[in-house]
Amino acid sequence: MNFNAVLALLLTVGPLCVLGQALVPLNSGRDAGASIFDTLDAILSGSQYHNVMFLMDSSGSISASDFAVSKEATHAILSVVDFIPSSNAIASDKHKIGLVRFSSDANTKVIITLGEHASFSKNNEEIGKVVKEGGLTNTKKGLLLAQLELGFRGGSARKQLIWMSTDGKSNEGGDPIATANSLKGRGVTICVTAIGNNVNVQEIYGLASSVVVQGESRKCVFQVASYSAYSSAARVASGIASARGK
């Protein structure tokens, strides 16, 4: 049994430690959604608004139906962002949103330029229009495009977050970890939701930032068994945000 298969088996049992970091498994139900909400709440709360770049994996291993569910999850995460630190937090003078779709080199593109749309509703609408383009997985280019958006349009005074979802590992464009480290060195927080059993766990942990959530320091990594599990957890997180009226 290979390493990823062992990891998948252990995830059905409960939390574990990978590479010295606490893993936050997202299986199903309220606990998974609460983990997402608590993490975003810890990152986004405060008086300073964020630039938030979504990185959505669109590689060939993701089916059209799973990509549609991935967009549903992104809708839900966007709604959480819109409630923190207060309602209607996505606006021209508050949180700014951008989105990069990544797969092969030719298909990795900025779909929503950072701050292009000043409201939750318009960003939500544009996420729904993202077209799946398959191919390999050039995570490095996706991060570089996010870096350009954050650098050119973000403004150095703003806090910055990259929220990435992926079903696998980089297989085009080279090692993305150096790019991620450069971003983190500039103060960008990177969170990664890893979907399925074929992810390169070492790479995912290398990409992700360390965050402090409810007094506990951990890598901002979540692992789910499927896109439907990710969407379910994200919807629960959205419900918690809405119920708290943040």
Please give the structure tokens belonging to residue 237. 């997180």
Assess contact for 154 and 51: CB atoms under 8 A: yes
Assess contact for 82 and 44: CB atoms under 8 A: no
Q: Strand pairing partners for 189?
A: 161
Q: Phi and psi for 90 in degrees, rounded to 5?
A: -95, 115
Helix spans in 82-197 (H)? 120-128, 139-149, 177-185
Type of residue at 203 = E
- Note the pLDDT of residue 169: 86
Helix spans in the chain (H)? 3-11, 30-44, 64-81, 120-128, 139-149, 177-185, 201-207, 227-244
- Note the pLDDT of residue 198: 87
Q: Is 101 left (phi over 0), alpha (psi -120 to 50) or beta?
A: beta
- Note the pLDDT of residue 154: 58
- Note the pLDDT of residue 136: 96
pLDDT tens, residue order, the chain (246 aa)? 443 443 333 333 333 333 334 444 444 345 778 999 999 999 999 888 999 999 999 999 999 999 999 999 999 999 999 999 999 999 999 999 999 999 999 999 999 999 999 999 999 999 999 999 999 999 999 999 999 999 877 565 689 999 999 998 899 999 999 999 999 999 999 999 999 988 999 999 999 999 999 999 999 999 889 999 999 999 999 999 999 875
Assess contact for 228 and 28: CB atoms under 8 A: no
Q: Locate tokens 């709360």: which residue?
A: 45
- Note the pLDDT of residue 246: 53
- Note the pLDDT of residue 147: 95
**Measured between alpha carbons, how far is residue 213 from residues 10, 24, 32, 34 in Å?**
23, 11, 14, 11
Fold of the domain built from segment(s) 33-244: Rossmann fold (3.40.50)
- Sign of the torsion angle spanned by Cα atoms 32, 8, 228, 189: positive
- Note the pLDDT of residue 168: 83
- Note the pLDDT of residue 156: 57
